[in-house]
Chain A
Amino acid sequence: MAWRARVLSMILAMILLAGSVADAAAHASLVSSAPAAGAVVAGGEVSIELRFDSRLDPRFSQLKLVREDGAAAVLRIEAGGPSDALKATGTGLREGRYRLHWQVLGVDGHASRGDVAFQVGR
């Protein structure tokens, strides 16, 4: 009967091995952004559009604008846009550096997040 134990332990090993793999990045991943990373834009009202390589569930997507002093504001995502993009508008943006933090859920169930740094200049 030893071989039966071997087949069963092989399957158990398969499952344990599957559990031993490490974390990996997930899509959806960012394909393009406006403002682009590192861009300098005029202040006041800034149109934001992030495009991804996957369809998103907008109910579980978030955009947050973080100023260099750490103050953060959650942006309202515009409804009715393309299924692979997030649109919002940043208002009252003063001169300085900003980080646009995004978190999305692709329809394949992979949650991912990232940042786009840009600057508001004169």
Chain B
Amino acid sequence: MQAFLSIYGMADWILRGVSMVAQTVAVGGALYLPFMLAPLEGPASGRVGLWRFCRRVLVSSALVLCLGQALTAVALTAFLMGSTGADLATAMSADAVIFDLLSACAALALASVARRASGATAALVLLSVVLVGAHAGVTHAASRSQPAAALLAAETLHLFALAAWIGGVPYFIASLRMLEDRGQRAAVAARFSLVSLAAVALLVATGVFMSVPYVGTPEGLYQTTYGLLLGAKAVLLALLLCMGAVNLHAVRRQRRDGCAALRSLPVLAEAEVGVGVIAILCAVALASSPLAADTRAARPDASEISKRFELAWPRLASPAPPPLAADGLRGPSPASAAGGDVFEDETARSPFDIAWSEAHHHYAALFVVATGLVALVSRSGRLGRLGRRWPLLFLALAAYLFIVADEDAWPLGPTGFFESLANPRIAQHKLMIALVAALALVEWRAQAKKFRAAWPSFIFPLTIAGAAALLLTHYGHSGDKQEVLVEISHTPVALLGVIAAAARWLELRLPSPALGRVAGLVWPVAFIAAGAVLLLYRESA
């Protein structure tokens, strides 16, 4: 039980993320099928298959949601029993457990209704309302000291708008691919554009309405974890709107030039789904963060923040580690040296820790800049076959990180390699390094056209997107000033990572060579920019 209690926070967070994505797709489908597909008129060719496919996606996402919510309820019940000694009945009577179970039941009912050949519109919409309502019951709006009906309504509408837009995109891609009649494809595209526009307007309006009381003051936007996550979400929304504008342009052009203009639409929609998921994960992180308006911890002021972005020469001299203590560990932290005990701040970092971290952020930044530069120059063909070997720079980065990421572990420190893997932090680092190495090898072979299939090429943008999502959403452990300062410098890197991933995906998938060329220039430039931001990274004042 102790082991479960220690990992409960992580398990709850994962389940919430999975459930939120599944809910968005399930509710998106419950709105898309009756309102986008059902009204289509004309020849039935392709429609039967499309209907069947969309239903399968809807049923699958509803079942994932049901499982996710049921597991969330079980995990919370077990946590409450284990940590407070409550009996089963009492633990299950917690508000959140009831909402989770309600959501699981509604998701199961939605899957059951959608399985029927002629899913009833009223039932689909009603169950969607129950699902979104149950979700709204465990949000900031519901948990405030003085819950306000207007905020609860805004939260509910926000979730509906998200599902109607991002949740509808997978079904929209399927429609464009499967409908054989050009008129029907054009009709679906026009209708979904309209729904997307309305959903975006609703998302922005309700988002702004909620952020006023949640953020409190303008300073809350850049001095707190909540504010920074909200800012990142706004940038992702802007990115989605740019893609949406290109889609809208294509829909309008097809009225003049026929359906040729719609060919890029499914691919842009794929990138839209990816960015949308990262925005959803940002929203899950926001829901778990204390509101900026209520954050009373010490906040960084404007001068402390601007110091972090001051132009300075990168720290490229690796600091000498302090001498080892008799027990094989590094010297004492400032806290424990001052007679620290359990009452001291365990997170205090020594000057060596800070110098070590800065130096190795800067070295890693040089690898990222070099990768972007080589990839960019190689597009001109001047580097010949050598230019296609830019993934090897990633391999070099992985080797470098393996050596320096954990100075107490082999090969630099006294702790053996396998022994060090018992430390979760080191094991996590090693896993990430292994992933970087694997990514470099796969992309190297893909660049050299060693794969017959196309799918290995997609691993690179998907991994970059995953890493960017992780970098965007993993803050909030302490919410203290130092963490906010680190978050401020890492958030732009993560957002540039999202742009790089989306651009690389579009370059690989777009049928239009002109648009693909533009995307092919964007991602190396985003890499160079991300590296440049990392070169400015400072932990010291």
Contacts and interface: CB of A to CB of B under 8 A. Distances in A.
Interface of A: 3-4, 6-8, 10-11, 13-15, 17-32, 53-55, 57, 59-60, 62, 66, 68, 82-84, 97, 99, 103, 105-111, 117
A28 B60 CA distance: 33
B470 interface: yes
A107 B290 contact: no
B143 A18 contact: no
Interface of B: 8-10, 12-14, 17-18, 20-22, 25, 53, 57, 60-61, 64, 72, 76, 79-80, 83-84, 86, 90-91, 94-97, 99-100, 138-140, 142-145, 147, 170, 173-174, 177, 225, 266, 270, 273-274, 277-278, 280-281, 284-285, 287-291, 294-296, 341-343, 462, 465-466, 469-470, 473-479
A108 B97 CA distance: 9
A68 B341 contact: yes
A62 B84 contact: yes
B469 A21 contact: yes
Shortest 7 CB-CB contacts between residues of A and residues of B: A109-B96, A18-B17, A53-B294, A24-B476, A22-B474, A29-B290, A108-B143
Nearest to B297: A29
Which of the listed residues A4, A7, A18, A60 has the most CB atoms from chain B within 10 Å of its own CB? A18
A84 B145 contact: yes
A6 B453 CA distance: 13
Contact of A10 (B90, B95, B177, B270): B270
A24 B474 contact: yes
A15 B289 contact: no
A30 B297 CA distance: 9
Contacts of A53: 144-145, 290-291, 294
Given A17-B21, A25-B290, A60-B91, 14 more contacts: A14-B21, A18-B18, A18-B284, A21-B281, A24-B476, A26-B288, A29-B479, A53-B294, A99-B343, A108-B139, A109-B94, A109-B95, A109-B100, A111-B8
A22 B195 CA distance: 33
B86 A60 contact: yes
B170 A10 contact: yes
A14 B285 contact: no
Looking at chain B's contact residues, the main secondary structure is: helix
Contact of B20 (A18, A108, A117): A18
Given A3-B177, A32-B296, A68-B343, A110 B288 contact: yes
Nearest to B282: A21
Given A15-B18, A103-B83, A105-B80, A22 B473 contact: yes
Contacts of B342: 66, 68, 99
Nearest to A13: B462
Given A22-B13, A29-B479, A60-B86, A111 B79 contact: yes
A10 B278 CA distance: 13
B145 A25 contact: no
Given A27-B291, A32-B296, A62-B84, A7 B173 contact: yes
Contacts of A6: 270
Contacts of B470: 20-22
Contacts of B465: 17
Contacts of A106: 143
A57 B266 CA distance: 47
Contacts of B266: 3
Given A25-B290, A25-B479, A84-B145, A17 B13 contact: no
B478 to A, nearest CB: 7
B280 A109 contact: no
A18 B145 contact: no
Contact of A29 (B60, B99, B100, B295): B295
Contacts of B285: 21, 24
Contacts of B284: 18, 21
A10 to B, nearest CB: 6
A55 B94 CA distance: 13
Nearest to B166: A14
Nearest to A61: B84
B99 A21 contact: no
Contact of B13 (A8, A24, A55): A24
A17 B273 CA distance: 12
Contacts of B13: 21-24
B143 A54 contact: yes
Nearest to B174: A7
A17 B466 contact: yes
B342 to A, nearest CB: 7
A55 B479 contact: no
B145 A57 contact: no
A11 to B, nearest CB: 6
B41 to A, nearest CB: 25
A106 B289 CA distance: 12
A34 B14 CA distance: 35
Nearest to A27: B290
A29 to B, nearest CB: 4
